[in-house]
């Protein structure tokens, strides 16, 4: 090796080992300046494997090399630090380098080899597989180890591939598995740790190949039998106490127990996948039958032998006992295996399950030194999958659920004997209390089965009172925690004495507020969650006086240790106690904001999803409860909005929906929207790019931003935000990749922008017309056609002359065809939404303000538009009357029990009807207490207009025209044929889903507020004053009914 390189490497890697970041940064820069030197990699490889150099420096060098390969090996550009000759050198010599490496260095080269395989095998490394087999067949232990590790990395790379790419794995199996099987058969006869290390790698290779599904080549009976025999011998191998390390932690890592762990993993995988014929594909049915009939019982017997070994005082590693319990768990569901298991069930429960779930030294260590970890194991089920207690309790629960006749009564008797012994024994040493804790956990585990049978559940109240109530005051912290847990598990039973329930709840509250152990407080908190869920009325009685202390304690606990369920519990308390938590609302919100921020900063995806979303839901719940407190909203928005803005990004997508809910609440209840909120628009519109399905949820916020910003949103300095909204509207309408529903929401947003901004966006009218016209040509959906025309109606209302001129210039649709189709939709009553009908009235009426300035090509259509205006007026009034009838049926009690008296008689004189309403009000006959003053005004306002349209409504009621079904097509010109069956009247009628009804009721577009009758009167008055001849010509061509409507309007 070049001495200059060696000295330089030693100097640099010494800096890497320094605790000072400046030294490390300097070392990184020096290495970056060297990577392009000729011979750099050859010298680095020599350095790493030089036995004369300190191991820690060589290890640092190997880690650097691994990181370099990870970042640069796949890069084939000229800037890649790896030249072709360097790559080829490493490919050819990687196995030799590994065979001569120290075991700590070997770990890094394993990873390097995997990265190379991922990129280059088999095309650029065809020699790797034959070389690996040659190494496995050698006499050198280091070479055998290298060959097996290489084979393991190949299997790891291709084991999870799709069936097509997995063909490489089949090639590897056919070429190598007979070789490693022969090696395994030899190694089993050798009783030393070197052989055990090699056995462990072979077991890992086999595990990788079967993890997704066992390859067909390994299901051949003779081959499968040979492998299973080898694994059975490994599992049965006797490990004496003399060969075990003295230290308990070293024992867990003892190599022969690791081999047994690998074997148990294989057995469990096979049983889970092929132990039930109902879940096996046809191609593996014969293999599954063979496995069940010939091997499942033999493998189970091996597990039972190990359990017996443990029951007789032998030591078994924690990992192995977990896998054995998992294997027993799947064995329950197969008759052949359960028939063997049945005879051992009682001993397994008392001598294996029970000791495993009792409070032990490891639990105490976690409790005292790592309370956070203890609580995560106790309450976060997603993190509990590979822990002994959850695996054991799951097995017991499944056993009693599947075979209650064999185990339930025995388990209850066993629990009872321990509880009675604990109560009667005067000495009461620590072991008795540990056993009592285990017995109560057994009881808690089988609670669902106990509560199913009245024979058992009827006794639970007495058991709880007699054996657990005293434990709330126990000197042993784990029993106080268990008392809370067991009470919460059975709080939903039928309590014969309500006083006992109240005493239990009070004890739990005492543990929450006063216990010295934080873990006991958490157990009490989760118990209170169950109490409130199951008995909200009793909860209010017991907890209401202590609510302030409870919330302060929960906030304290949440600050100390963040658990998934705490935010959910706060949500429940806020929901249950409502306004009584108002004094803590601000503090609760800020605490939950801190929790969300911590979960995001943790970088753990599961924490972010569970803790983050629950906390955001809690904030939304508080906002809902505090909806009438304007000062609170003003105060919290000043901290909440800046907090939300950085959370709206793609990598935090799982929080997006909850953030949108919070923003909607703020926008809904705040009287004004200030510039503080405008950056939220940028964030919300960015969500649309990666989650367009949330557009409907965002729309209320956009609408309120536009409505409540007092035109500040349209100012020059804030123009970028309105541009963001317009971009979303453009994209949603014009891009075919978005669904029809998204396009509908885009039309709603565009209507909102146009009607609120009027003159400020007049220059954008041509752009609007182009987008809307192009979508009209391409769409086949009836409701979307109506919404597109409604947006064009808004454009006509703002600037009828400019809009029609633009439509003419664009020539996307001939202007005559555009209006003729629109007129036909109106005439044939294919517009269902009253909102869209009103918008259409404003659009049509606007044509008659300056008719002389409209394009010549449109003049021929104006007469039809004139007549269509009155047809539409009648449709709107008719629909308003139908709404009035529905409102009246809710308000008035029926007279003389005749149903017809609930309805408004349209022949009745309006003055009589008004008198009747006043009489009902005076007599207290209002039936709907929720009728608002606004509803009453609306009702009376509609009544005032009934008489003017009474004649036409009578004739309309007599017509027998068929209403259009939801799936009817629009019978129009070629471009408008509607063959889409997805017509949804609700999609026209509402901006939002039913969950947003309250927001919709408050949000009104300008054209919904302006009196459309007055607007039409003014437009026609202008036409009459300026162009009397045209006015009279149009009036002369009207149908008699329409003339009556005209007369009513103008008078």
CA distances from 894 to 545, 880, 882, 938 (A): 46, 22, 18, 22
CA distances from 595 to 411, 536, 738, 959 (A): 42, 27, 36, 64
CA distances from 768 to 706, 708, 772, 975 (A): 18, 23, 6, 19
Q: What is the pLDDT of residues 684-706, one digit of tens each?
A: 898 888 788 888 889 888 988 98
**Eight-class DSSP state of 608:** I
Q: What is the pLDDT of residues 737-760, one digit of tens each?
A: 888 889 999 999 999 999 888 777
Is the separation of the CB atoms in 691 and 656 below 8 Å?
A: yes
Q: Which residue has the higher pLDDT, 904 or 1008?
A: 1008
pTM of the model: 0.69
Q: What pLDDT is recorded for position 896? A: 40
Buried residues in 490-515 as b, exposed as e (16+ CB within 10 A)? bbebebeeeeebeebbebbbebbeeb
Q: Is the pLDDT of residue 426 over 80?
A: no
Q: What is the pLDDT of residues 514-532, one digit of tens each?
A: 999 999 999 999 999 999 9
C-alpha dihedral (810, 814, 816, 819), degrees to nearest 10: -70
C-alpha dihedral (1032, 1038, 1040, 1044), degrees to nearest 10: -60
Residues whose CB is less than 8 angstroms from the CB of residue 62 and which lie 6 or more positions away in sequence, other chains included: 48, 101, 105, 108, 109
Q: What pLDDT is recorded for position 1003? A: 64
Nearest alpha carbon to residue 176 among 142, 149, 214: 149
Q: What is the pLDDT of residues 843-862, one digit of tens each?
A: 999 999 999 999 988 888 89
Q: What is the pLDDT of residues 647-685, one digit of tens each?
A: 988 888 888 899 999 999 999 999 889 889 999 998 889
What is the C-alpha separation between 627 and 904, in angstroms, rounded?
37
Q: What pLDDT is recorded for position 888? A: 62
Q: What DSSP line would sit under 110-139, residue for residue?
A: HHHHHHHHHHHTTTT-TTHHHHHHHHHTSS
- Give the pair of three-digit tokens for residue 773: 């016209």
Nearest alpha carbon to residue 402 among 333, 451, 353: 333
Neighbours of 132 (CB within 10 A): 24
Structure confidence at residue 890 as a pLDDT band (50, 70, 90)? low
780-796 average pLDDT score: 92
Q: Where are the domains of the chain?
A: 1-126, 562-696
Q: What pLDDT is recorded for position 649? A: 86
What is the C-alpha separation between 584 and 581, in angstroms, rounded?
6
Q: What pLDDT is recorded for position 983? A: 35
CA distances from 298 to 287, 311, 339, 415, 950 (A): 16, 20, 13, 32, 90
Angle between helical axes of 782-798 and 815-827 (0-180°, round to 10): 120
Q: What is the pLDDT of residues 947-984, one digit of tens each?
A: 333 333 333 333 333 333 333 333 333 333 443 433 33
């Amino acid at each position: 090796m070049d001495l200059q390189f060696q000295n330089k490497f030693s100097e640099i890697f010494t800096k890497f080992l320094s605790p000072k970041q400046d030294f490390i940064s300097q070392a990184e820069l020096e290495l970056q300046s060297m990577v392009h030197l000729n011979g750099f990699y050859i010298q680095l490889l020599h350095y790493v494997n030089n036995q004369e150099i300190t191991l820690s420096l060589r290890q640092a060098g190997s880690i650097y090399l691994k990181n370099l390969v990870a970042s640069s090996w796949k890069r084939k550009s000229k800037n890649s630090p790896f030249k072709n000759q360097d790559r080829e050198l490493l490919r050819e010599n990687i196995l030799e380098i590994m065979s001569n490496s120290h075991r700590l260095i070997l770990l890094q080269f394993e990873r390097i080899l995997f990265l190379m395989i991922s990129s280059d095998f088999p095309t650029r490394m065809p020699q790797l597989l034959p070389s690996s087999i040659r190494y496995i067949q050698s006499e050198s232990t280091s070479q055998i180890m290298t060959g097996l590790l290489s084979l393991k990395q190949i299997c790891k790379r291709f084991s999870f591939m799709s069936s097509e790419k997995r063909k490489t794995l089949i090639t590897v199996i056919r070429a190598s598995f007979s070789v490693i099987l022969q090696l395994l058969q030899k190694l089993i006869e050798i009783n030393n740790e070197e052989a055990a290390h090699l056995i462990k790698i072979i077991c890992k290779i086999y595990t990788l190949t079967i993890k997704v599904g066992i390859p067909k080549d390994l299901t051949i009976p003779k081959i499968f039998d040979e492998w299973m025999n080898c694994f059975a011998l490994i599992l049965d191998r006797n490990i004496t106490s003399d060969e075990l390390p003295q230290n308990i932690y070293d024992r867990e890592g003892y190599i022969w127990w690791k081999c047994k762990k690998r074997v148990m993993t294989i057995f469990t995988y096979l049983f889970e996948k092929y132990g039930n014929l109902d879940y096996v594909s046809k191609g593996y049915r014969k293999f599954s039958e063979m496995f069940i009939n010939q091997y499942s019982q033999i493998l189970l017997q091996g597990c039972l032998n190990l359990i017996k070994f443990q029951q007789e005082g032998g030591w078994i590693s924690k990992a192995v006992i977990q896998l054995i319990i998992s294997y027993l768990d799947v064995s329950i569901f197969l008759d052949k295996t359960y028939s063997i298991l049945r005879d051992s069930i009682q001993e397994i429960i008392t001598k294996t399950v029970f000791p495993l779930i009792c409070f032990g030294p490891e639990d105490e260590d976690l409790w005292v030194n790592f309370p956070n970890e203890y609580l995560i194991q106790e309450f976060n089920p997603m993190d509990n999958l590979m822990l002994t207690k959850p695996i054991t309790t799951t097995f017991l629960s499944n056993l009693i659920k599947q075979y209650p006749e064999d185990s339930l009564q025995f388990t209850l008797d066993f629990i009872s004997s321990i509880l009675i012994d604990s109560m009667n024994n005067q000495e009461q040493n620590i072991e008795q209390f540990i056993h009592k804790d285990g017995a109560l956990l057994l009881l808690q585990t089988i609670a669902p089965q106990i509560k199913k049978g009245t024979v058992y559940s009827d006794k639970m109240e007495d058991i709880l009172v007699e054996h657990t109530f005293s434990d709330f005051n126990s000197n042993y912290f784990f029993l106080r925690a268990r008392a809370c847990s067991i009470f919460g598990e059975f709080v939903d039973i039928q309590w014969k004495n309500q006083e006992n329930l109240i005493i239990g709840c009070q004890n739990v509250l005492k543990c929450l507020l006063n216990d010295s152990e934080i873990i006991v407080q958490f157990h009490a908190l989760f118990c209170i969650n169950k109490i409130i869920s199951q008995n909200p009325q009793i909860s209010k009685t017991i907890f209401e006086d202590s609510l302030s202390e409870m919330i302060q304690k929960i906030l304290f606990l949440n600050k100390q240790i963040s658990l998934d369920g705490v935010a959910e519990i706060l949500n429940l308390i806020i929901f249950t106690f409502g306004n009584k938590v108002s004094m803590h609302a601000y503090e609760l919100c800020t605490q939950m904001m801190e929790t969300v921020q911590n979960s995001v900063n943790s970088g753990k995806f599961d924490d972010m999803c569970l803790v983050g979303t629950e906390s955001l839901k809690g904030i939304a719940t508080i906002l809902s409860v505090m909806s009438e407190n304007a000062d609170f909203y003003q105060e919290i928005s000043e901290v909440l909005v800046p907090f939300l803005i950085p959370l709206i990004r793609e990598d935090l997508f799982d929080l997006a929906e909850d953030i949108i809910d919070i923003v909607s609440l703020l926008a809904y209840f705040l009287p004004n929207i200030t510039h503080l909120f405008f950056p939220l628009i940028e964030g919300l519109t960015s969500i649309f790019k990666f989650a367009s399905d949330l557009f409907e949820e965002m729309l209320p916020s956009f609408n309120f931003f536009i409505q409540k910003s007092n035109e500040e949103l349209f100012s020059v300095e804030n123009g970028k935000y309105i541009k963001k909204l317009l971009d979303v509207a453009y994209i949603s309408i014009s891009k075919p990749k978005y669904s029809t529903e998204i396009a509908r929401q885009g039309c709603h947003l565009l209507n909102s922008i146009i009607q609120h901004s009027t003159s400020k966006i007049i220059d954008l009218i041509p752009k609007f017309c182009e987008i809307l016209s192009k979508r009209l040509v391409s769409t086949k959906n009836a409701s979307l056609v109506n919404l597109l025309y409604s947006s064009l109606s808004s454009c006509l209302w703002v600037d009828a002359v400019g809009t029609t001129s633009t439509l003419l210039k664009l020539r996307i649709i001939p202007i005559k065809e555009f209006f003729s189709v629109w007129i036909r939709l109106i005439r044939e009553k294919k517009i269902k939404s009253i909102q869209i009908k009103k918008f259409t009235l404003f659009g049509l009426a606007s044509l008659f303000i300056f008719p002389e300035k409209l394009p010549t090509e449109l003049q021929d259509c104006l007469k039809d538009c004139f007549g269509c205006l009155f047809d539409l007026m009648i449709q709107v009034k008719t629909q308003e009357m139908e709404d009035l009838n529905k409102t009246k049926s809710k308000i008035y009690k029926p007279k003389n029990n005749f149903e017809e008296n609930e309805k408004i008689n349209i022949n009745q004189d309006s003055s009589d009807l008004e008198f009747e309403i006043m009489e009902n009000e005076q007599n207290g006959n209002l039936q709907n207490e929720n009728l608002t003053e606004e509803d009453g005004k609306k009702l009376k306002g509609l009544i005032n207009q009934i008489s003017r349209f009474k004649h036409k409504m009578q004739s309309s009621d007599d017509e027998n025209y068929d209403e259009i079904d939801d799936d009817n097509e629009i019978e129009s010109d070629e471009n408008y044929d509607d063959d889409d069956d997805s017509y949804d009247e609700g999609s026209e009628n509402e901006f939002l889903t039913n969950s947003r009804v309250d927001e919709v009721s408050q949000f009104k577009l300008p054209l919904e507020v302006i009196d459309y009758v007055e607007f039409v009167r003014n437009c026609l008055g202008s036409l009459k004053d300026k162009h009397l001849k045209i006015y009279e010509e149009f009036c002369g061509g009207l149908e008699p009914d329409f003339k009556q409507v005209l007369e009513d309007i103008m008078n």
